[in-house]
Amino acid sequence: MRVIAGSAKGRRLAPVPEGTRPLADRAREGLFSSLGPAVPDAAVLDLYAGTGALAIEALSRGAASAELVDSSEDAVRTIRENLSRAGFDARVHRMDVRRYLASPRGPFDLVFLDPPYETPEADIRLVLDALPPALAPRASLVLTRPSRNTTDVIPVHFVTTRRLSYGDALVLVFREERWA
């Protein structure tokens, strides 16, 4: 794996820890092309961060800050190594995503959620339901699911703006629809 674009373009990232399924380089490239102006100066939250590749790519493309959350000790070790390799500083939290969201956080402009494919849909819905207090107005959210998954986990108060498919990965880009 490598950083695709920006200030850290071409930097190689650490080997992927066992049990982690990072988004492929090609999928990250397509995702960031579709996010465009949502990335520069964004406060980024990377949930189920794995290797940290999504937050690192955002930082490389001009995001202002990032917080990365993963419950795995191996993942957190890899995230810290990758941040060092790419030359970025970010807050890294080793904890369960729902526990992280239970405390006031944010506001975040861009949120990545790349949970393990076997994560139950009900758990993902609970995380999505807990996110709104941490979101900045007009925040973009990115959720990765297996492409074979036909269950829609996006709550009704979110609007899907992009639906991208790369091999076995389905990438959904959406935002919260705030009602006046």
The pLDDT tens digits of the residues spanning 76-123 come to 999 999 999 999 999 999 999 999 999 888 899 999 999 988 888 889
Enumerate the H helices of 22-150 as residue ranges.
25-35, 53-60, 73-86, 97-101, 121-130
Instruction: Give SS3 for 84.
Output: helix
Categorise residue 19: left if φ over 0, alpha if ψ from -120 to 50, beta otherwise.
left
Strand partners, 70: 94
Does residue 7 surpass a pLDDT of 80?
Answer: yes
Q: Looking at per-residue confidence, does 9 or 104 come out higher? A: 9
Residue 118 contacts by C-beta under 8 Å, 6 or more apart in sequence?
none
Furthest-apart CA atoms within the chain: distance in Å: 47
pLDDT in tens, 119-160: 888 899 899 989 989 999 889 999 988 877 655 666 666 777
Cis peptide before 133 (omega within 30 of 0): no
Pairing of strands 135-146, 169-176: antiparallel
The vertex-100 CA angle with 108 and 147, nearest 5°, equals: 75
| Contact criterion met (CB below 8 Å) for 101 and 127 | yes
What domains appear along the chain, each with residue ranges and CATH number? Answer: 25-176 (3.40.50.150)
The answer to whether residues 6 and 61 touch, using CB atoms and an 8 Å cutoff, is yes
**Which position has the higher pLDDT, 21 or 69?**
69
- The confidence score (pLDDT) of residue 19 equals 75
**Rounded Cα distance, 125 and 46, in Å:** 17
Instruction: Identify the band that residue 180 occupies on the pLDDT scale cut at 50, 70 and 90.
Output: very low
pTM over 0.75: yes
Q: What was the pLDDT predicted at 39?
A: 96
In the prediction, which pLDDT does 151 show?
56
Lookup: tokens for 131? 């996110």
